[in-house]
Structure 1
Amino acid sequence: MRDEKAFRKACYEAARRTRGQVAGFVSYKTGPNFDQGEIAYRHRTAAVLWTWELDGEVRNGLGIAEAPVGWGSTTFVDEPGLLAVLGELLPGYRLYTRAELEQPIDLSAPPWVSDGHAKHWRPDTLGEALFNFWD
């Protein structure tokens, strides 16, 4: 089940624990299959990406990217402290590292994307499949 309230609460607490500040949230009703919470630090603003549905099933996954995230401009980053705190706050969510998100995707290994989406959109990396702007 999609729990936007739990995601936002975790972002606020993670920001507090990692000495950041929540800069805002972006929730998409159509298009992208993820929401994002932006946490500002001195060195950058990180976007916590949360995908809740993969191939028609609810699967909560988290990744971190450089903010802002937009069409074709997702740059995944390493924020190990932030990822660790989010893992503690959101047990049961799958946390993806930058290395995992940037690796080539094996489309034969579920649950990445449906066959129709894979043939049409042709994602190259796991990150493109998990956090996408497909319609």
Structure 2
Amino acid sequence: MVDLREFRRACHEAARRTGGRLVEFRIADSVTPNFHQGVIDYSDHHLSIVCTRDRREPVVAVAEPRAIDATVVSAGPLTFVDAPDLLAVLAEFPAFQVLTPADLAGPFDARKWPGLHSADLKYWAPADLGEVLFNYWD
């Protein structure tokens, strides 16, 4: 399970060191989504640091945020973003496994990611690792 205080600390530090400001911290406390996110504001765009909530070793990545004002609920796959500066800061936190968009676009190998329900994988038929790790499955 993810330590939310450590995730919040990582988000604040990543935002600070990359010239952004953490403007929203979304805790996933119902069935979906299966990830938390910290939304960072840069003067011309927003990014989200997403973190799996139910894995023994939490995985973090950078994605486009769903909706800044929280009025829109979207359940499709996340769009992962290549943000090397953010990922470098996150990699300094040993509590998290950091994955890049290239990692997440790769195939899912169940042997490398134990603990996922085979029925979910069969039903949802994810296209890649990113969809398996970060999703809105119920």
Q: TM-score band, normalised by the shorter chain?
A: 0.7 to 0.9
Structure 1 residue 74 displacement after superposition: 1.3
Gap regions ≥5 residues in structure 2: 68-73
Task: State the match for 1:120 in structure 2.
Answer: 123
Q: Is 1:20 matched up with 2:23?
A: no
TM-score, with length taken from structure 1:
0.87
Q: Looking at secondary structure, tell me which structure has more strand per residue.
A: 1
Percent identity reads 41
Q: Is 1:98 matched up with 2:96?
A: no
Note if contact 1:33-1:133 (Cα within 8 Å) is conserved in structure 2.
Answer: yes
The one-letter code of the counterpart of 1:125 is D
RMSD: 1.7
| Alignment: residue pair count | 131
The one-letter code of the counterpart of 2:83 is E
Distance (Å, rounded) in 1 between the aligned partners of 2:27 and 2:88: 23
Distance (Å, rounded) in 1 between the aligned partners of 2:120 and 2:77: 19
The one-letter code of the counterpart of 1:52 is R
Task: State the match for 1:64 in structure 2.
Answer: 62
Distance (Å, rounded) in 1 between the aligned partners of 2:117 and 2:18: 36
Query: CA separation of 1:37/1:4 partners in 2, compared to 1, >3 Å: closer, same or farther?
Result: same
